[in-house]
Amino acid sequence: MSSEGHNPFHHAQALVDHASHALGLEDGLRELLRWPMREYEARIPFRMDDGAVQVFQAYRVQYNNARGPTKGGLRWHVNETIDTVRALACWMTWKTAVVDLPLGGGKGGITCNPRALSPLEAQRLSRAYIQAFAHELAWDRDVPAPDVHTTPQHMAWMLDEYEMIRAHSEPGVITGKPLALGGSRGRADATSWGGMYAIREADKALGLNLGSNSRYVIQGFGNVGGGLATILHRAGGKVVAIGAEDAAIRNERGIDVPAALDYYQHHAQRLDGFPGGELISNDDLLTQPCDVLIPAAIEHVITRQNADKISARLICELANGPTTPGADHTLHHRGIPVIPDILANAGGVTVSYFEQVQNAYNYYWAMDDVHTALDRRMTESFQAVFALSQERQISLREAAYLLAVSRVAEACRLRGWVNGRR
């Protein structure tokens, strides 16, 4: 929760309310879209390696399935709550809709400190989660995937547990799996590549003239942020500041991204002590002068308190909900365009959908095919959002929500959920 005191789910609901009002949706439909359709919680008693028993709180939220099976990752985080999971499931609903996937939105979480778990404890907790929720999951009902602090290995354990419970093979029930278990090529860095395509299209549409000397600041150095840093570095972009949970570093000449990643991976995911840059705080990181600011970590880091200090020409939200409503208003007033999260970071769920398709007919695509299909989907989606923003003279975020909410609303109407008896 940010210093503005925003509950992330209230933030998500406010965005839905704004879009619903602009679209003129009837009260019943608006109320349907404001809340999850189904929520599941479990208290998981768990024996640690030392014999002590802890009880973990676990969640799975299926927000809306009007357009197809719900889809969304599984987060392990010490501050996970039902409201963060609700918010993320809500955002997933609009994310799948804005890139026009035949899916709904869902999300899961476990309140835990993943870094305090041994590998054996992580495996047992992965299996325990599936034991708690297996009967609510299926390839045509609700499909989890990796998210914060979960990996393809966690998905492998979960798939194995699910298939043991169900006593049959069902690889499409979980995406983000290792390749050997039916994962898709290109899934690991799909969110990063999706962000790159979105930045490229924004550059064209807004006439930013980004080039080899353009400066990028990235908050978050995990799979998504580190992946995009690598892509930008290889393309000749200058990443001048990066941040992790412990600290951030700055180098006006450009950070040696491969060296920073190697240090990060060999020092318990820490940047403190990396010799290739000056140590700064994560608060200072967000206000560094740059062409493109990329929040790629957690929600609510750009707030009313720092939005007037942001000096980027463009913001690309690879995290979910990184900008609070108050900050969004300030940025729009200052003329700083924001590629909203439901569009910018949709590359991950898009390639997860491709993985589901490949699992369904047991035929797997080459990497070039995945990248080509992802590029086309992200390009078409950005252009549709940008065209609507120009037509209505609204921000990219408002346009993305109008497009996404209208698509879900249409599916609800066609099913008779709001204009007839369910």
Q: Of 95, 107, 177, 238, which residue is the catalytic one?
A: 107
Give the torsion sign (CA, 405, 411, 416, 419): positive
- CA separation for the pair 286, 268 (Å, rounded): 23
Residues in the chain, how many? 422
Give the torsion sign (CA, 299, 191, 128, 90): positive
**CB-based contact 320:91 (threshold 8 Å):** yes
- CA separation for the pair 378, 175 (Å, rounded): 19
Query: Residue 329 has what DSSP assignment?
Result: H
- CA separation for the pair 115, 199 (Å, rounded): 32
Active site residue 71: no
345 token code pair:
């970071």
Sequence-distant (6+) residues with CB within 8 A of 278 are 249, 250, 251
Sequence-distant (6+) residues with CB within 8 A of 329 are none
Give the torsion sign (CA, 250, 253, 258, 262): negative
Torsion of CA 198, 148, 16, 349, to 10 degrees: 50
> Furthest-apart CA pair in the chain: how many Å?
65
- List Cα–Cα distances, 30 to 18, 33, 93, 178, 408, in angstroms: 10, 5, 14, 39, 11
Q: What angle (nearest 5°) sits at the alpha carbon of residue 82, between those of residues 16 and 62?
A: 60
- CA separation for the pair 101, 51 (Å, rounded): 45
Give the torsion sign (CA, 281, 286, 289, 295): positive
As annotated, the active-site residues are: 107
